[in-house]
């Protein structure tokens, strides 16, 4: 698949399979992340790989964080939270490790988000699927600490990668209302 095809056909799979990008495929994904535009060349990124047994340990972290945020939630909800990392063979937590710089923190986060998108595209180009999740755990101090991040660091996404078990819907992008010609004429 060439780059334009990858960029114009990426879609989040509905379900991921157990095949994991490893070796050269994973290296390509991570190298694509490292190609993100980066104001000031700060490299404010952290790509944390969570796979194998570590997914179970990270599930425990997610569950504990939820117990602290919502102590009255049901056991079913706690279990669902704990099992989230098992949805895919590989999770990459993409964070912006905010540097003290004249480059505003938002731009450092945007750079990390660009890295995340590059990784999703690189996975798709190699026949793998990936989807992006955030939610309350992204902003949770307990989760950040467990991942070795600082309170000021920003988790921009939990990227789940695997084979494509159930593809997402093929979409026809609709540019209306998004793409406009600005001419400067009144
Ligand atoms: C920053 C960011 C965070 C997201 N977080 C979630 C999330 O927590 N839960 C969710 O269902 N979708 C989330 N999404 C959206 C999905 O990843 C996905 O893009 C969306 O369902 C549309 O599907 P598509 O990727 O096939 O266009 C997020 C997307 C972005 C860019």
d(CA 159, CA 29): 11
Provide the Cα torsion 133, 137, 78, 146; round to 10°. 120
pLDDT tens digits for 109-141? Answer: 999 999 999 999 999 999 999 999 999 999 999
**Is the beta carbon of 28 within 6 A of some atom in ligand 1?**
no
CB 133 within 8 A of CB 157: yes
160 pLDDT band, cuts 50/70/90, is very high
Report the predicted TM-score, pTM, of the whole model to 2 decimal places: 0.96
The HSE-up count of residue 152 (CA atoms within 13 Å, CB side) is 9
Q: 185 C-alpha vs ligand 1 centroid, how far in Å? A: 37
pLDDT tens digits for 60-113? Answer: 999 999 999 999 999 999 999 999 999 999 999 999 999 999 999 999 999 999
Most ligand 1 atoms within 8 A of CB, residue of 134, 137, 174 to mutate: 134
d(CA 87, CA 15): 8
């Amino acid at each position: 698949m060439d780059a334009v095809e990858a960029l114009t056909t990426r879609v989040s799979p509905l379900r991921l399979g157990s095949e994991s990008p490893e070796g050269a495929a994973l290296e390509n994904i991570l190298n694509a992340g490292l190609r993100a535009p980066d104001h000031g060349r700060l490299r404010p990124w952290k790509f944390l790989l969570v796979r194998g047994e570590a997914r179970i340990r990270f599930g425990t972290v997610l569950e504990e964080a939820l117990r602290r945020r919502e102590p009255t939630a049901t056991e079913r909800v706690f279990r669902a939270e704990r099992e989230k990392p098992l949805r895919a063979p590989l999770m990459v937590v993409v964070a912006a490790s905010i540097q003290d710089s004249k480059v505003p923190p938002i731009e450092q986060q945007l750079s990390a988000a660009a890295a995340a998108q590059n990784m999703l595209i690189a996975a798709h180009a190699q026949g793998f699927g990936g989807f992006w999740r955030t939610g309350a755990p992204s902003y949770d101090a307990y989760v950040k600490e467990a991942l070795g991040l600082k309170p000021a660091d920003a988790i921009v996404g939990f990227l789940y990668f695997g084979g494509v078990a159930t593809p997402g819907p093929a979409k026809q992008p609709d540019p209306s209302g998004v793409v406009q010609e600005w001419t400067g004429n009144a």
